């Protein structure tokens, strides 16, 4: 049997639940659906980790966030970031895990009251292949998966990460403490989220 084809009327009649944020978040990232897949990449020292923590804090306003800290664990640098962005203030909606296999994460997400938002930092450190990653995403269509990727020559590192970038609806590149949206929900080209204003000024004043 052939798969169902939708009419334009059916497509237009569909409704979607979007992130209800406003201000600079909406200005830069638009209003993506709450279950959209994200891919965030950037070079080391670009402000990527700080942006991800700021995003995590913002998302706790809309549901519980699970931060899979594969790359840093709960080491000192991660601890300092937790303190800098006062994540203890939202600890009821923010949890950290460090070593789940993809099967263990799947089991965790099948539990009642499991997190709505799942941050994977980083995709390379997790060591997953693309097919199993896509299967995980499709197994939980109501959840939002946010993948953090290492970078090589301005693109996510590795073929699997590049494929994941094409799959993701929200694509973000962090460079010079600025987070640029490159995804399907981009409101306007060239706008960016300021991760660290002082750092932006220093980078601008010292281009070398």
- From first to last of its 208 residues, the chain has per-residue pLDDT tens of 888 898 999 888 888 899 999 999 999 999 999 999 999 999 999 999 999 999 999 999 999 999 999 999 999 999 999 999 999 999 999 999 999 999 999 999 999 999 999 999 999 999 999 999 999 999 999 999 999 999 999 999 999 999 999 999 999 999 999 999 986 767 677 899 999 998 888 777 654 4
What is the β-pairing status of strands 38-42 and 65-69? unpaired
Distance CA 186, CA 208 (A): 30
Question: What is the pLDDT, as a whole number, of residue 206?
Answer: 57
Residues 6+ apart with CB under 8 A from 88: 82
Question: What is the pLDDT, as a whole number, of residue 16?
Answer: 87
Tell me whether residue 96 is exposed, middle or buried, using C-beta atoms within 10 angstroms of its C-beta: 0 to 12, 13 to 18, 19 or more.
Answer: middle
CA dihedral over 158, 187, 143, 40, signed as positive or negative: positive
Q: pTM for the complete prediction?
A: 0.93
φ and ψ at 134, to 5 degrees?
-60, -40
User: What's the distance, Cα to Cα, between the start and end of the chain in Å?
Assistant: 61
Q: What DSSP line would sit under 27-58, residue for residue?
A: HHH---BTT--EEEEE-TTSSHHHHHHHHHHH
* CA-angle at 171, arms to 165 and 173, nearest 5°: 105
């Amino acid at each position: 049997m052939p798969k169902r084809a939708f009419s334009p009327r059916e497509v237009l009649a569909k409704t979607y639940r979007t992130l209800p944020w406003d201000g600079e978040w909406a200005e830069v990232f638009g209003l993506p659906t709450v279950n959209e897949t994200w891919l965030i990449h950037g070079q080391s020292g670009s402000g990527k980790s700080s942006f991800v923590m700021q995003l995590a804090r913002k998302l706790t306003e809309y549901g519980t966030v699970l931060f899979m800290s594969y790359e840093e664990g709960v080491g000192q640098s991660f601890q300092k970031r937790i303190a800098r962005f006062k994540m203890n203030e939202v600890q009821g909606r923010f949890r950290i895990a460090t070593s789940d296999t993809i099967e263990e994460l799947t089991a965790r997400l099948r539990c009642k009251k499991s997190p709505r938002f799942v941050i994977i930092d980083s995709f390379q450190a997790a060591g997953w292949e693309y097919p199993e990653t896509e299967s995980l995403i499709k197994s939980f269509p109501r959840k939002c998966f946010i993948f953090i990727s290492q970078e090589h020559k301005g693109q996510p590192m590795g073929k699997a990460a590049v494929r994941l970038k094409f799959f993701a609806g929200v694509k973000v590149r962090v460079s010079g403490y600025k987070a640029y949206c490159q995804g399907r929900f981009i409101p306007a080209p060239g706008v960016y989220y300021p991760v660290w204003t002082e750092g932006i000024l220093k980078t601008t004043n010292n281009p070398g």
